[in-house]
Amino acid sequence: MKTTLIAITVAAAFGASALCALAAEPIQIIEPAVITEPAKVELGKKLFFEPRLSKSGFLSCNSCHNLSLGGVDAIPTSIGHDWQEGPINAPTVLNAKYMLAQFWDGRAADLQEQAAGPIENPKEMAMEHHIALKVLESIPQYQAEFKAIYGEQGISLSTVTDAIAVFEETLVTPNSRFDQYLAGDHDALSAEEKAGYALFKANACSACHNGPAVGGTSYQKMGLVQPFVTDNPAQGRIDVTGKESDRNVFKVPTLRNIELTYPYFHDGSVWDLTEAVKVMQQVQLGLPLSDEEAGKIAAFLKTLTGEQPQITLPILPPSTAETPRPQPFGQ
């Protein structure tokens, strides 16, 4: 009788559809990549690994979104041109297509818009876009590939970033043990991992970390009930919206492959996954979590490690006499 009353009260408060959603799983299966434009994917892969898109000739997208390391650089903040210290922890490129927007503050609408940023950012690849385009135009093999794929459009910032984005859309990590569990294989998780998943839902982690990427579906304040103490200067989404209410508001990061994408948070301050779970519980919910409970949630989170993209290293076409030369030092 009491239970029924509570259920009715909850249904009245949230609406019947919300109640159904609560009953469903908050995480959806990651589907394998379906490649419809293989030539464009191959071109985008070359560009992703292309150090000549940087001023130094040394840094590529893969430098900080290393596909050997879960799509990150596994250091607190990234190394840019001239070893400049980046302002924020590099988010993983894996499953990035599921994010509602790109960058921690969501300042790029999609992968294509994102791709243009680090190339020109003076603290990252430090390469003026028009010189990057000259590099590609000077290389006959790139000219031919762009012509074959983009026709009259040829080599432009738009086509370069489109190819990179189309490649990045293939960087998904299906068939994790958790996906197998969602697909009906109840033995895919251990008892501890299942208990961790139950805690993950009961403690409302899944209120923000949901969807196929277990994150990336909303912006949330870091330090919702207690301040998140950091010396990292990033202000979050206020830089995009100008709204004071968006201070310290960041895109919720994906928890897919979280086992690989340490150190954690936008400041890369926490290396241990169990500790990260405890910090989140504290600053977002104001509730302490026992080591045992945090360990169970961490055990569940490790089941989100999926099959990593199998990448055959591209062979990049040689420069020519017309290719603008890299400027690694002192220029």
Residue in 43, 67, 116, 214 binding a second copy, rule: CB under 8 A: 67
Question: Structure tokens of 12?
Answer: 């009245």
Give the residue from 5, 2, 118 showing the smallest Cα distance to 54: 118
Residue number, 84 or 218, with CB nearest to a second copy: 84
Residue in 24, 83, 186, 244 binding a second copy, rule: CB under 8 A: 83
Minimum CB separation of residue 275 from a second copy in Å reads: 9
Q: Does 311 bind a second copy (CB under 8 A)?
A: yes
Residue 293 contacts residue 19 (beta carbons within 8 Å): no
Per CB under 8 A, which of residues 241..260 are in contact with a second copy? 259-260
Q: Does 267 bind a second copy (CB under 8 A)?
A: no
Minimum CB separation of residue 241 from a second copy in Å reads: 31
Residue 246 contacts residue 105 (beta carbons within 8 Å): no
Q: Does 326 bind a second copy (CB under 8 A)?
A: yes
249-251 and 219-221 as β-strands: parallel, antiparallel, unpaired?
A: antiparallel
Q: Does 58 bind a second copy (CB under 8 A)?
A: yes
| Count of chain residues binding a second copy (CB under 8 A) | 40
Per CB under 8 A, which of residues 272..301 are in contact with a second copy? 272
Active site includes 42?
no
Q: Which stretch binds a second copy (CB under 8 A): 77-85, 112-120, 151-159, 163-171?
A: 77-85
Helix 157-169 and helix 129-137: axis angle, to 10°? Answer: 80
Residue 172 contacts residue 31 (beta carbons within 8 Å): yes
Q: Does 57 bind a second copy (CB under 8 A)?
A: yes
Distance CA 210, CA 252 (A): 9
Q: Which stretch binds a second copy (CB under 8 A): 30-38, 47-55, 126-134, 221-229?
A: 47-55
Q: Does 174 bind a second copy (CB under 8 A)?
A: no
Residue 162 contacts residue 112 (beta carbons within 8 Å): yes
Q: Does 74 bind a second copy (CB under 8 A)?
A: yes
Distance CA 290, CA 40 (A): 49
Residue 178 contacts residue 25 (beta carbons within 8 Å): no
Distance CA 292, CA 206 (A): 19
5 burial type by CB count under 10 A (0-12 exposed, 13-18 middle, 19+ buried): exposed
Residue 123 contacts residue 80 (beta carbons within 8 Å): yes
Distance CA 64, CA 124 (A): 9
Q: Which stretch binds a second copy (CB under 8 A): 49-57, 118-126, 157-165, 287-295?
A: 49-57
Q: Of 42, 50, 120, 124, which one is the catalytic site residue?
A: 124
Residue in 18, 35, 68, 153 binding a second copy, rule: CB under 8 A: 68
> Which residues are near a second copy by CB under 8 A?
49, 51-52, 56-58, 63, 66-70, 73-76, 79, 82-83, 85, 259-260, 262, 271-272, 308, 310-316, 318-319, 321, 325-326, 328-329
Which residues are designated catalytic?
Answer: 124
